[in-house]
């Protein structure tokens, strides 16, 4: 059986992760988008550090890195809005 580099989750960790997704699919989607964008940004940084790529595509890679920064900032703002809406929604349900 191949060994996994990932440590097994405890039942508590699994329940906590499930609870977050169950209560806010929007927050989970924003989180996944942020992870994807951050991954792309890391790969672009590798290209930017490569002398050959930098010589041939410096302007394009720099532009893509700027776009990644903007996209990550927007998803951070979106995440805060989703989180804020969840809090307001829970409070309004409690009043009903």
pLDDT of residue 3: 52
pLDDT above 90: residue 4? no
The string of pLDDT tens digits covering residues 14-24 is 666 555 445 57
Q: What is the pTM of this model?
A: 0.60
The string of pLDDT tens digits covering residues 22-68 is 557 888 899 999 999 999 999 999 999 999 998 999 999 999 999 99
DSSP string across the chain? -PPPSSPPPPHHHHHHHHHHHHH-HHHHHHHHHHHHHHHHHHHHHHHHH-HHHHHHHHHHHHHHHHHHHHHHHHHHHHHHHHHHHHHHHHHHHHH-
pLDDT of residue 83: 82
């Amino acid at each position: 059986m191949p060994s996994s580099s990932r440590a097994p989750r405890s039942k508590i960790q699994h329940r906590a992760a499930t609870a977050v997704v169950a209560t806010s699919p929007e927050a989970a989607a924003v989180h996944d988008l942020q992870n994807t964008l951050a991954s792309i940004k890391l790969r672009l940084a590798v290209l930017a550090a490569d002398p050959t790529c930098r010589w041939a595509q410096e302007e394009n890679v720099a532009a893509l890195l700027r776009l990644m920064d903007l996209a990550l900032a927007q998803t951070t703002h979106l995440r805060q809005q989703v989180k804020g809406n969840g809090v307001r929604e829970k409070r309004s349900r409690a009043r009903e």
